[in-house]
Amino acid sequence: MWRYVVKRLFLAPVVLWVIYTVTFLMAVIIPGNPFKTGEQNLNEDVQRAVMAQYHADDNWLFYREYLAGLFRPIQAIRGRGPLIDLGPSWQYHDWTCNQIIGSALPVSVGLGLAAMFLATVLGVPIGVISGIKRNSWFDYTSLSLALVGISLPTFVTGTALLILFAVKLAWLPVGGWGSISQLWLPAFTLSLPFMAYIARLTRLGILDVMAGDYIRTARAKGLAPWRVVWKHALKNAFLPVLSYLGPATAAALTGSFIVEKIFNIPGLGEHFVASVLNRDRAMILATVLVYSTVIILFNLLVDLTYAAVDPRINLEKQ
């Protein structure tokens, strides 16, 4: 297993370099002047000086300098800077990308983890009951709701939930961040598509394993029906869900900018959208690299968990 982990960690910088290069090329072709937007309407001489300071006037120089300055172990050991330096923001001159991400990433992580917790603890029982009670009214209802949850975009469901529970019923706050009551609506909104998919995967897994010989053996031993399902059937039925949880959790952590915008949450997604609109190349690269690192790490974590749950999987042969 350790050989597999070292191999994946060794390949991670290569994957991040490819992502960095593609993102850089896409950021370069974005039309517009990043130093002549909104409040930053600088004259020509000042623009040239600022562009030279950030290497914005030479794309190849910026590519090399930014890549060379990302990893700085010597400065970190000497206490002269962070280990990973994502560079200064082009729009917020008093802030570095490290500072912006450091303040916003915990918010997005908290929202994403809360959403995946709700998606799992609600989606798995719904899928189990649907699989046990196949073709019942509960099964048809859950499948219909799952289809709606997967099909509707989060800005539709988020707006509808906001109007119903915050405006009409006044049960929950309209938006903001900092309390448990402000977390429920955005977390539930973000969890809906993941919950629907988890419920469908669990249902299919239950339908598949309940026809197995070991389930018939467990029933023949006289075990209680709930024990057969929750102890024996669910362990194998949960494997497809487990493989889905890795990329789904990464997507929840990194793809919540629409929900953050609706509920006025100061997460990283808001900064990513603003960086694209402001042509802030440094911030675009910083957020994409952080998002990509999160996805790579969660995929690795799921592979390790999958191997721990299912002993038939040998990671050394991967």
Comparison of pLDDT for 196 and 304, the residue scoring more: 196
pLDDT at 120: 92
The segment with the largest mean pLDDT, out of 23-27, 69-73, 79-83, is 23-27
| Position 135 in a domain | yes
Other Cβ atoms less than 10 A from the Cβ of 168: the count is 9
Angle between helical axes of 239-254 and 281-309 (0-180°, round to 10): 160
Mean pLDDT within 141-163: 85
Percent of the chain with pLDDT over 70: 90
pLDDT at 109: 87
Checking if the pLDDT of 96 tops 60, the result is yes
> Please, what is the average pLDDT of the chain?
82
46 class by beta-carbon count within 10 Å (0-12 exposed, 13-18 middle, 19+ buried):
exposed
| Position 42 in a domain | no
Q: How many domains does the chain have?
A: 1
Checking if the pLDDT of 37 tops 60, the result is no
Checking if the pLDDT of 118 tops 90, the result is yes
Residue 1: CB partners within 8 Å, gap ≥ 6? 304, 307, 315, 316
* Distance of alpha carbon 47 from alpha carbon 64, whole angstroms: 22
CATH number of domain containing 203:
1.10.3720.10
pLDDT at 1: 67
| Out of 4-13, 17-26, 119-128, 309-318, least confident range | 309-318
Checking if the pLDDT of 304 tops 70, the result is yes
| Position 210 in a domain | yes
In tens, the pLDDT along 231-265 reads 767 777 888 888 788 778 878 877 678 888 888 88
Mean pLDDT within 85-113: 86
Range of the domain at 221: 103-269+306-317
Percent of the chain with pLDDT over 90: 10
| Position 171 in a domain | yes
| Out of 173-177, 219-223, 285-289, least confident range | 219-223
| Position 143 in a domain | yes
Amino acid (1-letter code) at residue 130: S
| Position 145 in a domain | yes
Report how far apart, in Å, the C-alpha atoms of 40 and of each of 47, 88, 92, 98, 276 are.
Answer: 9, 16, 10, 22, 16
* Distance of alpha carbon 275 from alpha carbon 278, whole angstroms: 5
| Position 243 in a domain | yes
Look up the pTM and report it: 0.79
Checking if the pLDDT of 204 tops 90, the result is no
From the list 148, 137, 128, the residue with the least C-alpha distance to 203 is: 128
Checking if the pLDDT of 180 tops 80, the result is yes
pLDDT at 19: 93
Other Cβ atoms less than 10 A from the Cβ of 259: the count is 27
Please report which confidence band the pLDDT of residue 314 belongs to, taking 50, 70 and 90 as the band edges.
low
| Position 88 in a domain | no
Checking if the pLDDT of 79 tops 80, the result is no
If you ran DSSP here, which 8-state letter would residue 317 be given? Answer: G
60 class by beta-carbon count within 10 Å (0-12 exposed, 13-18 middle, 19+ buried):
exposed
